[in-house]
Amino acid sequence: MDNWPSLIDQLERQPGSDDFNFIFTLCQAQYGYIGYLLSEKKKKEAKQRIEKTMTILDQAIIQYPDSAKLYTLKAALIGYQIGLKPWKAPWLGPQSQENIELAKKLDPKEPSVWFEEGNSYFFRPTIFGGSRETAIRNYEKAWKLINAEPDAKKNWFYYYVGAWLSNAYLEENRKKEANNLLKELLTEAPDFKWVSEELLPRSK
């Protein structure tokens, strides 16, 4: 994570590009780093990066209106906004879900769509329809789809999905499944500290 901000800065300093892959890589990198900032309670920087990335995404969606990946990232950023201000959930929650539904219609085989729907169910209070079991089903679908992609293991998001599925298993006391998956992740990414230092010990 220490190198992540500098990598994002390098991307931002590159000559302006409207290439889809460039835009998506930048926004996905911001998405991953914002999640880290929130876990570290660095809310001010997280808020600034959310706003900056949302502006880029909104412009990109105008240019690439058929991209499920962009709508999914927007749903995720709205989810982060809910995390910062939970009292806004009744207004922001439907906006996030609307973007997820749009993404599903555009590309039902896009792993990130199902991952974000899993997040929606995992973090939503039960009284508002949250369900860890439903979250797990969505995470599992994302995991299955991402494993079908030939170069998936070259992208940090692959390990992120696996880690969150493992975490959800642990929350439901499905330790054996979590342990098997965590060991699998560590064979490919032995330096993934959240997996090795936090999740794996909980699975024993």
Task: Report residue 8's pLDDT band, with 50, 70 and 90 as the boundaries.
Answer: confident
Is residue 15 pLDDT above 80, yes or no? no
Using CA atoms, how far apart are residues 166 and 164, in angstroms rounded to an integer?
Answer: 5
Using CA atoms, how far apart are residues 41 and 201, in angstroms rounded to an integer?
Answer: 23
Q: What is the mean pLDDT of residues 166-183?
A: 98
Percent of the chain scoring above 70 in pLDDT: 98
Query: Which of 182, 151, 156 has its CA nearest to residue 169?
Result: 182
Using CA atoms, how far apart are residues 162 and 179, in angstroms rounded to an integer?
Answer: 11
Q: What is the mean pLDDT of residues 39-62?
A: 96
Q: Which residue has the higher pLDDT, 2 or 43?
A: 43
Q: What is the mean pLDDT of residues 50-76?
A: 97
Distances, alpha carbon 71 to alpha carbons 46, 117, 168, 174, 191, in Å: 20, 12, 24, 32, 31
Which overall architecture, per CATH, does domain 111-204 show? Answer: Alpha Horseshoe (1.25)
pLDDT tens figures, 81-133: 999 999 999 999 999 999 999 999 999 999 999 999 999 999 998 988 999 99
Helices (H), ranges, the chain = 4-13, 20-39, 43-63, 68-84, 89-106, 111-123, 132-147, 156-171, 175-188, 193, 200-202
Using CA atoms, how far apart are residues 120 and 143, in angstroms rounded to an integer?
Answer: 16
Q: Which two tokens stand for residue 8?
A: 């994002």
Is residue 22 pLDDT above 70, yes or no? yes
